[in-house]
Chain A
Amino acid sequence: ETGVTQTPRHLVMGMTNKKSLKCEQHLGHNAMYWYKQSAKKPLELMFVYSLEERVENNSVPSRFSPECPNSSHLFLHLHTLQPEDSALYLCASSQKVSPTLAGGPSYEQYFGPGTRLTVT
């Protein structure tokens, strides 16, 4: 049990559907993250939230819409996706985001099991 849960674990959707991915962390953390893992590509960051405020959007298309209603929950709303969006979507949390200067204290990220998304 990692303390970070994701639902659903598997999702198949058509290109015209609207669906949402959910992440919940039970660790009392203040920062949450969405990552995407495509076949044959390294894991890449999508969004970062700190205390429910988005602090990073890594040039993600608008068909992905994140929502963080509180520090324990993070959603990824999906609409009009493309087949190339099929991937494993991973949620993570950490106590805080890293401070301004490298070399200062930093915080370990804990990952959920992921949602395997297939867009048909």
Chain B
Amino acid sequence: AQTVTQSQPEMSVQEAETVTLSCTYDTSESDYYLFWYKQPPSRQMILVIRQEAYKQQNATENRFSVNFQKAAKSFSLKISDSQLGDAAMYFCAYRSVRGGSEKLVFGKGTKLTVNP
């Protein structure tokens, strides 16, 4: 079974600075999707960024980018120019692509605090 590990329960960053959240995963599959979800205090899950395993190029969405190291099974999230609104729980998630609608496997999350 696949597992996702987020080794940083909490992180903090100064406003306008850059922070990197770590995520590692374990799988025997070669094709899959990886996601970073944000959960603000409202508790609405928001997709931040998505990476397809067969794509070597790292995904980027505005201030958010990932460092995807397939061989190392690592998928870190970099937030540049951090803003107060970035404060939230961040969850890394894995999803298999075999056979249709597979479930998401979540890490335990990293709580990000942004200091003004």
Verify that A and B bind, or say they do not: no
